[in-house]
Amino acid sequence: MNPPLAADRLVAHRARPRREPFVLLAAGLVVLAWSAFHPHDYFTWFMEVAPIFIGVPILLATARRFPLTPLLYRLILAHAVILMVGGHYTYAEVPLGFWMQRAFGFARNHYDRIGHFAQGFVPAILAREILWRRGVVSGRGWLFFLVTCVCLAFSAFYELIEWWTAEATGSAATAFLGTQGDPWDTQWDMCFALVGALAAQLALGRGHDRQMNLI
């Protein structure tokens, strides 16, 4: 009796992810609609949510031939929500950041630190899944190292995008940069992305492995 029961559970586990991404997509579209309704300014909003407009079409186009794990789909939605909230208010004016500032005595609104932590945390699981499932690396040590490198490279490239945007648009990019007068903002951003990448692999690595083995 046990083998059929185990097989039924496996079938159920594989059936759920087929429906879940569409539920997550619908939830993301609802938050996106809220985010786009009277944001702080539409230039900043577009710049902050632009990764969503790039990433979602790619996910939809590759969903059949390379479906991702449920864990990764959920993390992508969480990251998208962080971006959409930051785009709506601007990172320097998100209410959660002001609450943290009052509660912990911070000198500034640190919501952008959450965003850059997620910028390392979520791409780490994405890079991990692609590198492992595509057979780019076979050793766990090399996987950990390369995923960390990918996340740091992505974070550095994003900082370059911010710089190029500031050079091209001048003061219009002030809210997008969100430095709040901190001369070390770029370094802090990359540091939090690094911490996020390391934390994701250490905290979620085993669970992520189990899900990848079921695909």
Which amino acid is it at 195? V
Q: Which pLDDT score, from 0 to 100, does residue 175 have?
A: 65
d(Cα 209, Cα 73) in Å, to the nearest integer?
15
CA separation, residue 99 to residues 45, 93, 149 (Å): 22, 11, 33
Q: Which pLDDT score, from 0 to 100, does residue 177 have?
A: 64
Per-residue pLDDT of the chain (215 residues; tens, 9 = 90+): 444 444 455 444 455 557 899 999 999 999 999 999 999 999 999 999 999 999 999 999 999 999 999 999 999 999 999 999 999 999 999 999 999 999 999 999 999 999 999 999 999 999 999 999 999 998 999 999 999 999 999 999 999 998 898 888 877 667 666 667 678 888 999 999 999 999 999 999 999 999 999 98
State pTM to two decimals: 0.88
d(Cα 193, Cα 176) in Å, to the nearest integer?
18
The number of residues making up the chain comes to: 215
Q: Which pLDDT score, from 0 to 100, does residue 211 have?
A: 97
Q: Which pLDDT score, from 0 to 100, does residue 112 have?
A: 94
d(Cα 155, Cα 127) in Å, to the nearest integer?
13
Q: Which pLDDT score, from 0 to 100, does residue 166 have?
A: 84
Q: Which pLDDT score, from 0 to 100, does residue 110 have?
A: 93
Q: At what angle do helices 111-133 and 185-213 cross, to 10 degrees?
A: 40
Nearest partner of 147 among 113, 190, 194, judged by Cα? 194
Nearest partner of 51 among 27, 82, 20, 22, judged by Cα? 82
